[in-house]
Structure 1
Amino acid sequence: MGADKFDPNFTQNVIDATGPNASARTREIIGPLIRHIHDFAREVNLTVDEWMEGVNLINWAGQMSDDRRNEAHLLFDVIGLESLVDEITFAAAANAPDAHTATAILGPFFRHDAPMIPNGGTIIKNPVADGIVTYMHGKVVDSLTAEPIPGVIIDTWEASTNGLYEQQDPEEHACNLRGRLTTDENGEYGFYCLKPTPYPVPDDGPAGKILKMLDRHPMRPAHIHLITTHDEYMPITTQIFSSDDKYLKNDSVFAVKDSLIVDFTPLEGQR
C-alpha cells in the first residue's frame, strides 16, 4: 500500500464485484451507496467497536418491528432521511405552476386496513375527556383545471390525546382515529376527528437512543395524516399541522412545511 493509509482501489473493487445481471437502477443506487458508506467510515476513522454498535442498532430495530410498530422506519425518520426522500421525490411537482398540495412523510404508524366511514362521519370510536372534537373538511380539485374530483378516497389517521396511535395502545379500540372516506360529486369531504395534539415518538428503542445521543427531544408537533388516492391521479401523502403548536420549528422528524400549517378554529354552532 506504500504511503496510502487505505487501499485506494478497495472501494472500487467492491463496486465492481456487482454482477452483470444487476439492473441499471440497482447499479445506480448501490454503487454510490457503497462509495459514500466507505468514505464515511474513512472520514470518521470508524472503529470495529463502533461498527458493531451500528450493526446491533440495526438488528435491534428489526427485532422491535412488527405490524404495530416499524422501528426501522422511525429510525430513518429521526435522522431526516424520509423527509429528504419526500423532498427529492416531489421537488419537481412542488415547483410546477400547477403545484398540488405539499406532501409530507408517511410515518411508521400507517395501516392499510382502516375502515370506510361515510362522508361527514367520524373516526372517533373512543371519545376522550381531554379531546377537542373537530370537524375537518376540504375539497379535492384537479391542480390543472381546478375542477372538483369526485370519488377520491381519503385515508386519515391521528394519535390520541395520550400521545399514542391506536396500535400502540393495548387498551384502545381497534382502528380508533382511523378511517377512509370518499369525496362527493363536488369533490368535498368532511369528517369528525380530534384536534391534533403533540406527542413524543417512541424513544424506548434505537430511534430513541439516537435522539438521546444527539441531545434531542422526541416530540412531534400536532398533526393529522392524510393520503388521497384516485385511479386517474397520483396519490398524495401529507400531514396537516396545527398552527398553535410549539414544536412546529423543531419537529423530531423534520416533516413540517409552511403550506401544511392551518388554524383549527372553533366551529360556530353545531354541525
Structure 2
Amino acid sequence: MRNLTPASITQAFADYARNAPSPRARTLLTSLAGHLHSFVRENKVTQEEWNAAIDALTRATRFTDDKRNEYILFSDLLGVSSLVDMVNAAGSGTPSSVLGPFHIEGAPELPNGGDLWRGQVGEPLVVSGRVVDENGTPATGTVLALWQNAGNGLYAQQDSEQAATNYHARLTVADDGSFAFSTVRPVSYKVPDDGPAGDMLRILGRDAWRPAHLHMIVKAPGRPPLITEFFPEDDEHLDGDAVFGVRSGLVLPFTRLTDRAALPAHLAARDTLPMPVWSARLDLKLAPL
C-alpha cells in the first residue's frame, strides 16, 4: 500500500492480515497494533524513545533464564498480569490472583497435616482450612499446590542455600475438604529490580515491594484450577503491591495461638512447634462450573 499516513497505517495493517488462518489471532494482533499506533500518535513518540523501549526488551533477554523471566516481571509490574486475571475471574467463590514467576510443576507431595517449616529461619505458621463447592459440599479429591518465600524473603529459585523445592508442595485435602500444614510465616519482599523492569519502576518513582503472601493453586476434579494467593492483614505493603495482586477477599487475619491444644490434631509438628505460633484460617469456596 502506497502513500500511507499516520491515520491510515492502522487500517493498512488490518488489511494485510485479512488472510490470517486464525480469526482470533487476527483480532488480537490487529487490535494490539492499533493500540500501539494510537499510543505513538497520541504521544508523538520520538525515535530515541522508541529505541529506548526496544533496548529495554533486548536487555530483558539477558536477564531471563530458567530461574527468572524479565518479561513476566514487566507484565506483572505494568499490571497486565493482574488485569488478565481480573477479566477472566469467576464472579463468585474465592477470588483469584496472579500466578507469579516461582511456581514449580511437580512439587513434592506433602501429607495433609505435614510440615514445610522444619525449623528453618523465620516464625512458624499453621495454616488450616476447608475447600467446598458452590453448595457448601466438601470438594473431595482437591489438590492444593502450595508455594511461598522462605523466612529470609527469598524463593528457592533465588537462593542457592535452599533446596530446589523448599516451601513448594502438593497437598490432597481430606474427604471432608479439610486441610492443614505448618510452614513459615511469609515476609514481604522486593521483586528483582536490577534489570530493565526495575529501571521502569525508578523512572516512575515506584517501589518494588510485594506484601507477604501464600501462593496456592486449587485443583478440584472436573473444574478449572483456581490460582490465588493470601495476604496477612497487618502487612504494610497491601496498598502498594508492585504487581497489583491484592484482592480484599484474600486479606486475612494472622493470629497468635498460645494453646497447643488448639492446633489441628493431625498436624505432624503439633508437639514440637515453638509456642506461641502464628495461625491462619483459609476457607476456600469454588465458583460454579
| TM-score in terms of structure 1 length | 0.91
1:248 and 1:153 map into 2 onto residues whose CA distance is 28
Give, in angstroms, the shift of residue 18 of structure 1.
Answer: 1.1
Distance between the aligned counterparts of 1:262 and 1:124, measured in 2? 20
- 2:180 corresponds to which of 185, 190, 204: 190
Alpha carbons 2:141, 2:221 under 8 Å: kept: no
Give the whole-Å Cα distance in 2 for the aligned partners of 1:6 and 1:216: 37
Tell me the C-alpha RMSD between the 2 structures. 1.7
Matched, 1:104 2:97: yes
* Higher relative contact order structure (alpha carbons within 8 Å, sequence separation ≥ 6): 2
Q: Distance in 2 between matches of 1:105 and 1:140?
A: 20
Task: Tell me how far apart the structure 1 counterparts of residues 119 and 207 of structure 2 sit (CA, whole Å).
Answer: 29
Structure 2, unmatched stretches of 5+, are: 261-269, 271-289
Quote the Cα distance in structure 2 between the aligned partners of 1:46 and 1:7. Answer: 12
Q: Percent identity?
A: 38
Aligned in 2, Cα 1:39/1:207: closer, same or farther, shift over 3 Å?
same
* 2: CA distance, partners of 1:207 / 1:234: 31
* One-letter amino acid matched to 2:130: K
Q: 2:211 touches 2:231 (CA, 8 Å); kept in 1?
A: yes
Letter in 2 for 1:181: L
Does residue 137 of structure 1 match 2:161?
A: no
Cα pair distance change 1:17/1:126, threshold 3 Å? farther
Distance in 1 between residues matched to 2:250 and 2:174, nearest whole Å: 23
2:149 touches 2:155 (CA, 8 Å); kept in 1?
Answer: yes
- The aligned amino acid for 2:43 is V
Q: For the residues of structure 1 that align with 2:136 and 2:144, how far apart are their CA atoms?
A: 18
What residue identity is the alignment partner of 1:137?
Answer: S
One-letter identity of the residue aligned with 1:9: S
The residue aligned with 1:251 is: 241
The structural deviation recorded for 1:49 is: 1.6
**Map of 1:66 onto structure 2:** 65
Which residue type is aligned with residue 113 of structure 2?
G
How far off is 1:22 after superposition? 2.7
* Pairing of 1:117-128 with structure 2 (within 5 A): 117-124=110-117, 127-128=120-121
Aligned counterpart for 2:190 among listed residues 200, 206, 223 = 200
Deviation at 1:124, TM superposition (A): 2.8
Question: How far does residue 150 in structure 1 lie from its aligned partner after superposition?
Answer: 1.5
TM-superposed CA distance for 1:126, in Å, is 6.5
Match of residue 166, structure 1, among 156, 175, 196: 156
For the Cα contact (< 8 Å) 2:20–2:26, is it kept in 1? no
Aligned residues: 259
Amino acid at match of 1:121: G
Q: Which moved more, 1:148-157 or 1:13-22?
A: 13-22
